[in-house]
Amino acid sequence: MSDITARRRFLETFGSLAGIGGSLESGYDRLVFTPAELAARSWFHNEADRLGLQVEVDGNTNMWAWWGSDRSSAVGTGSHLDSVVKGGAYDGALGVVSALLAIERLQETYKKPQRPIVVIAFAGEEGARFGLPTLGSRLLTGALKPSDVLGRTDREGGAFGDAMTAAGFDPDSLGADPSRLGFLACFVELHIEQGRGLVHQDAAVGVISGVWPHGRYRFDLTGTPDHAGAASMDSRADPMLVLADLVQLAEGVGNDRVRATIGRVEVSPNSTNTIAGTVSAWLDARGAESDDVFVGVASITAAVAARAKARDVAVTWEQESWSPAVGFDQDLSETIDRVVQSMGHESSPIPTAAGHDAATLGAHIPSGMLHVRNRTGISHSPHECAAVDDCVSGVAALTSVLEELACR
């Protein structure tokens, strides 16, 4: 395939997905089981059909598009199609588009692979709707149980099971699927970088060495709702003040080894002239090691408890999810790195603090990841950006990796 054709095919394929659920300028809202996410699923089916791939949807609503009739020792690739609220165009989507284009390229040379290749679009990786990241891959592997999921509600109070049913899926089918997981010999995910590592290395494509551990925590702060004018400043039990403390405490534990963020808040009654009665806030905490996260969260919870007590506000907290650290398979990562280096992309493997489905699978099968340079370094935002030439380089690198793993 010529460079001109490769560029054209990327623009056509990526552009057809980029028209679903938002825009490059305003961001994307493809939350799991919403009409926009279901439209992206239809797009995946259509693209897979065009390539002659056999599409299956597992009980956890992950989509599998197979090249090759066998179902054993398969090389898996892909990513996810859902987004955060007002997310970027490339997060997840670039990995799925690149995987499909890689198979298209390989089909020009090979009638069929020596080992089957399957493109997987995992469900609900972002966790933006129901608060559980890497949903489909964790259900598949048993890291999440159906009971962990079915009781969850979205911001409008809609239950997970009802949303799943309305989307045409069966909640009774959720759960670990070791036989399907056993189809995979390995998994390789391409993803836009969520940071500036490749920008600093001046490389279009790089290799991820591992993924930081990641926890999500909910804090509920309960004070006394009152009149914003009539209540004296020294008589208030205002949970918003404790929220302000919590935000600063999260910032205070952050350093080169820890990231701590309050990114979501719900306030009741949420009225301009009323002192809040309750505030719920969600903490996202990640670290180079699990102990870095645990120490940081312990520091935050101890300090916020003291601040809340001083303000006559009750506080409770719970861990909503935990994803352990993952070091990717050394042999597979060396293969990916060798291919990347042979194509002239001189970069050193680096860890990522962002969660990925490849990390979930990495606890069970050999897994590895490719990064494509993010020009802005910004992600989970419309400002996320990858140059077309870098994306085409990523497709070429993934194609070569899959060729080595499945076609030779």
Q: Where exactly are the structural domains of the chain?
A: 3-212+325-406, 214-323
Question: pLDDT confidence of 328, banded at 50, 70, 90?
Answer: very high
What pLDDT shows up at residue 37?
99
Provide the β-strand partners of residue 27: 23
Residue 1 has pLDDT above 80, yes or no: no
Indicate the pTM of the whole model: 0.88
What pLDDT shows up at residue 50?
98
Question: pLDDT confidence of 327, banded at 50, 70, 90?
Answer: very high
**pLDDT digits 0-9 by tens, 299-322:** 999 999 999 999 999 999 999 989
**pLDDT digits 0-9 by tens, 167-203:** 999 999 999 999 999 999 999 999 999 999 999 999 9
Question: pLDDT confidence of 400, banded at 50, 70, 90?
Answer: very high
Specify the higher pLDDT residue, 347 or 161: 161
In CATH, what is the architecture of 3-212+325-406?
A: 3-Layer(aba) Sandwich (3.40)
**pLDDT digits 0-9 by tens, 203-240:** 999 999 999 999 999 999 999 999 999 999 999 999 99
CATH 3.30.70.360 fits 214-323, yes or no: yes
Question: pLDDT confidence of 346, banded at 50, 70, 90?
Answer: confident
